[in-house]
Amino acid sequence: MPAELAPLQLHLPPSARGLVTPEKRPLASAVAAPDPRLKKRALSPPDRATPAMAIEPHELKLLKVIGRGTFAQQVALAQHSRSQRMVVVKTLDKRHVIARKQVAHTLTEKNVLQALGGRHPFIVQLYAAFQTDRELNFVLEYCQGGELFFHLQQQNQQKFDEVATRFYAAEVLSALGALHAQGIVYRDLKPENVLLDAQGHVKLADFGFAKENMTDGRRTFSFCGSPEYLSPEMVRKDGHGLETDMWSFGCFVFELLTGAPPFQSSNMHRLFNLIEQGRVWYPPYLSADAVSLLQGLLCVNPQARLSVEDAMRHPFFQSLDWDDVLQRQVAPPFVPVCKSLDCTHNFDDGFTSEPVQSLGDCSQKQAEPVASSNNAETTPYQDLVFAGF
């Protein structure tokens, strides 16, 4: 049976981040009152799903490795022979998924992208999902522009100006709004998980830490995400909700504007103390509106933190029409260099120079040993866990 359309995407290893020591800056004024010009429908994704594309595994020709991840054994560019479409195939070893207790997260990622991938302009699309005896495979939209983090590193002083930051932040905020409207908390926002398509627009990717059914103020107690982007309530382990994404969004905006996250330390205990204290020094070159937005997002009290709607109404975004943002009518700051449909110019050559492994081979070459009574086949328990994947 051909695999029916379904989602997931690149989770490349984070690069080292430079340390910055911005000067102190006086606190700016509080956020502005709600703007009645904010259209409610700007929060809702348009129904733009691509028609289902049946895919047989043998129709996928793997071309180049473009990444590896915490749980992905290989992320490869591939061509679907029948449609000639370039896609990404993300391969996970079932044994690793189970050994690292990522079964629920993996299935949630698939569910989330089936619900929103391809239906929202800034969320990566999943074309198909299928499994072999050893592996889970996700066939995803190929974002030729690569990671936003890659381009951030290419900028002068490794930071964007406020015009470029406003563009990327607005498209990410639109995607977060769609997730939150469906009761989904993302929990892994960072420049590495924000991809650019061939036109330079944002695609939010890697939903392995997402959680569903987070409605009516529900809290969850999982501890997950990237350390520098964790919210104070997650660090304290006293329960978190949708508000945790808005803290991460503040860290994301801060990093785009300054070149580094607001809280940094090589010592994890020290890092978490800094996050809990929530004291931020703002470089003097940031505008009052930028500082005001960041203060509203990087608020230690989650109940006082800006929501998606609050952030959209903030003066920092006043120059944008949110309907234009949602319809991709706002021009990107730059268009990524893409010389051909299979161009990998915007990906780390440390990955693209690696030999690509065929489907079914990825799980046979492990960087680390995995506890398993049978290295060749999955156990009956594993088969049951992933039945119907």
Q: Is 296 helix (H, G, I), strand (E, B) or coil?
A: helix
Spatial distance between the Cα atoms of 378 and 375, rounded to a whole number of angstroms: 8
Spatial distance between the Cα atoms of 266 and 360, rounded to a whole number of angstroms: 38
DSSP secondary structure, 255-274, as one string: HHHHSS-SS--SSHHHHHHH
188 is catalytic: yes
Spatial distance between the Cα atoms of 152 and 258, rounded to a whole number of angstroms: 10
Spatial distance between the Cα atoms of 204 and 171, rounded to a whole number of angstroms: 9
Q: Please, is 64 exposed, middle or buried when counting C-beta atoms within 10 Å of its C-beta (0-12, 13-18, 19+)? A: middle
Amino acid of residue 45:
P
Spatial distance between the Cα atoms of 281 and 279, rounded to a whole number of angstroms: 7
Distances (CA, A) of 309 to 141, 147, 182, 243, 342: 28, 26, 14, 12, 38
Catalytic residue among 35, 93, 188, 323: 188
Which residues on adjacent β-strands are paired with residue 123?
Answer: 204
Q: Residue 29, by phi and psi: left (phi above 0), alpha (psi -120 to 50) or beta? A: beta
User: Rg of the Cα trace of the chain?
Assistant: 21
Edge-to-edge order in the sheet of strand 60-67: 60-67, 72-80, 86-93, 135-141, 126-131
Helices (H) and strands (E) in the chain, counts: 12, 8
Q: Is 91 helix (H, G, I), strand (E, B) or coil?
A: strand
Using alpha carbons, select from 140, 138, 127, 214 the residue that is nearest to residue 176: 214
Amino acid of residue 133:
D
Active site residues per annotation: 188
